[in-house]
Each structure stands twice: as structure tokens, then as C-alpha cells.
Amino acid sequence: MKEIFLEKFEYFIKEIHPSEFFNSELEILLNLKKKFKDLKFNERGDKLLIEGDNDAILKVCVILDSLIYFIKKNENINEANILDILNGKGDKLLQSENGRVILYGVNKKKIKAHTLNQIKLVESFDKNDMVFAVGPAGTGKTYTGIAIAVKALKSKTVKRIILTRPAVEAGENLGFLPGDLKDKLDPYMQPLYDALKEMIPTEKLEDYIKREIIEIAPLAYMRGRTLDNAFVILDEGQNTTHNQMKMFLTRMGKNAKFMITGDPGQIDLPRSSISGLKEANLILQNIEGIDIVYLDDKDVIRHKVVKKIIDAYKKTEHAN
């Protein structure tokens, strides 16, 4: 039987301000207590008092060193990162800072993959020309995809970016809005514009759009085209029909990268219609050159309440 030695240890918070470590939004201390239930933790200014088995304390210290290193290197950190490091899955997160930066945006803002699944999404394009990113709202699917596309454009891997969405409500629900079809659809495309504005200076972005180096258009505009030398993103793919998804996927031309994002939990199609995204994920499994990356509530990088909202709806849906 193993002899347990009880110890008291003072772990000093160095290299970062204690307020960053004891940030209530991250709940590091709460997660440590859940992970190491046999240890006692107490906050004391710039140090953490730990009491319990010596071997367990040693493991905690290693984890704390990793957490502090990660917090120091990253201005953006979330609970998913904390849990990955606590559970020994943080190797990729703990790589050099540049390893997680996708590109530098406006004012040299670091546009990053913040979670393991987002990193997986970035890495998937190194091996595949078509990638599906499937997961709930707030998991960074579209934002990460646009960042990958902008990086490909800047590195001249592709000559243009095409961003598209299915216009589910392009009929009677938008008919009362003023302007032509583009004017009516611009509000639906706004999340795509918002992401681009963080990555490309306004004047340059306007020039790219004017010269059609960057094109933002409804899915119907893709019909009959062959999209060569382009990084093409179909956003909100769950709202495509069978015919629309098939049409889009077969637009792929030479030297093209295709990304399809979608949330199967937010389908706005009539109940009689089958989601093209769900169908494609079943039909296109195990095809070389195509990958499907699944994101979940652990990848939510919005306000932590969003994760709780997703969890609450999930429980209700399962109950029903």
C-alpha cells in the first residue's frame, strides 16, 4: 500500500499579474478543485496555497507552470484552453506563440486559432482541398475559415476569395426591403464583412471587393461557374438543400480550396427539406482530399454565458 505524505506548498504566481490567474471568467481555481478533489487550494495574494499528497501537488505545479506560460503568451484565453491543459491535451496550445497565429490583421492584431479544434481546422487545409467545419454558434468556424482564406490570398496560394451564403429568406421575407438583391442580402453577409475588416485595412478591402479579388455573394450566384485559383467558403451550409449543396461542391476548379461551415442545430429550411450539410457529411465521409472537422461547445470563444445557453438547449432537445 502506498504511503501518502501530506504537504503544504506555496505556489507563487510569477511572470503574470495574479489578477490574470485568479480571473473569475476563467475559473482556473474552480477547475483545479474539480480535477484534484483530494487537494485543498487557497488563494493568498500572489500565491496559491496547496495542501495534500506530495505527488499530487507535484502534478499540480507542472500544470500551473503550463497555465501561466500559456496566459503569458496569449492575450486571448478561454475555459476550453484551461481544461485542455488540465487534462494533458495542451501540447499544441503550448507550442510557440507563432505556431497558433494564423495571420496578422489590421494594426498587427494576431488572428489566432484559439482551441484545439480550431487548430485542427487550420492544419486540415495542409492535407485537404475541401474541409467541412461543423459545430454550434460561437465556435469560430467562419472567423477561422476567413482567416485561413486571407492568409492563402496574402501568400498568393490563391488569387481570390469567394464567400457565399444560402439566401434562405430571399423570397417574401426580404421583398419589402429597399434596393436590389445585393442590397437586400447585405445584412445576411454582414458577419463575413465584419471578419474581413479585422484582417484587411478598410481601403484595401474596398479595393479588393471592387476588383472582385474578394467576392461576397449569395449561393445562387455560384450556379454555372467554375471556381479556379480561389479559396471559397460556403457559410451557414446547414441551410442548403440537396441540390444547392451538390451544385456548390461541383463548382470546384483547379487550385481551389473549399470550406463549408454549418451548425446542424440551426436549420432554417422548411421541415420537408433535407439539409444539404447533413447529407454531405454522410455521403462524403472517407473520401481522400475531403475532411470533416467537428467543433463543440468547448470551442465557444464568445461570452461564457453562450456555452451555458448551448448546454441548456442541448439538454432540452435531448429531453424532448
Q: What CA–CA distances, in Å, run from 188 to 150, 175, 196?
A: 20, 14, 15
State residue 206's pLDDT score: 92
Write down the pLDDT at residue 2.
Answer: 46
List of domains in the chain: 6-86 (3.30.1370.10), 102-319 (3.40.50.300)
Mean of the per-residue pLDDT values for the chain?
83
Query: Rounded to a whole number, what is the distance in angstroms from the first to the last CA of the chain?
Result: 49
Angle between the 28-35 and 54-73 helix axes, to the nearest 10 degrees? 150
Q: Please report the pLDDT score of residue 240 as a whole number.
A: 93
Q: Are 311 and 304 in contact (CB under 8 A)?
A: no
| pLDDT in the model for residue 187 | 73
pLDDT of residue 182: 58
pLDDT value of position 302: 65
**Does the structure show a pLDDT above 60 at 5?**
no
| pLDDT 10s digits, 66-122 | 888 887 776 567 777 888 888 877 666 666 444 478 888 898 888 888 888 888 899
In sequence order, what are the beta bridge partners of 234? 164, 260
**Residue range 3-10: mean pLDDT, rounded:** 68
For the residues of 32-93, what is the DSSP string, one character each?
A: HHHH-TTSEEEEETTEEEEEEEHHHHHHHHHHHHHHHHHHHH-S---HHHHHHHHTT--TTT
Encode pLDDT of 222-264 as tens digits: 999 999 999 999 999 999 999 999 999 999 999 999 999 999 8
Reference 101, options 89, 110, 92; nearest CA is 110
Task: Select the more confidently predicted residue: 55 or 225.
Answer: 225
User: Which residue in 115, 66, 108 sits closest to 86, CA to CA?
Assistant: 66
pLDDT of residue 217: 85
For residue 244, the model assigns a pLDDT of: 94
Cα–Cα dist 191/189, whole Å:
6
Are 160 and 215 contacting, i.e. CB atoms less than 8 angstroms apart?
yes
pLDDT per position as a tens digit, 281-316: 999 988 999 999 999 877 776 666 776 777 787 777
Q: Residues 165-194: pLDDT tens digits?
A: 887 654 434 454 555 555 666 677 788 889
Q: Which of 23-32, 49-58, 62-71, 273-282 has the lowest mean pLDDT?
A: 23-32
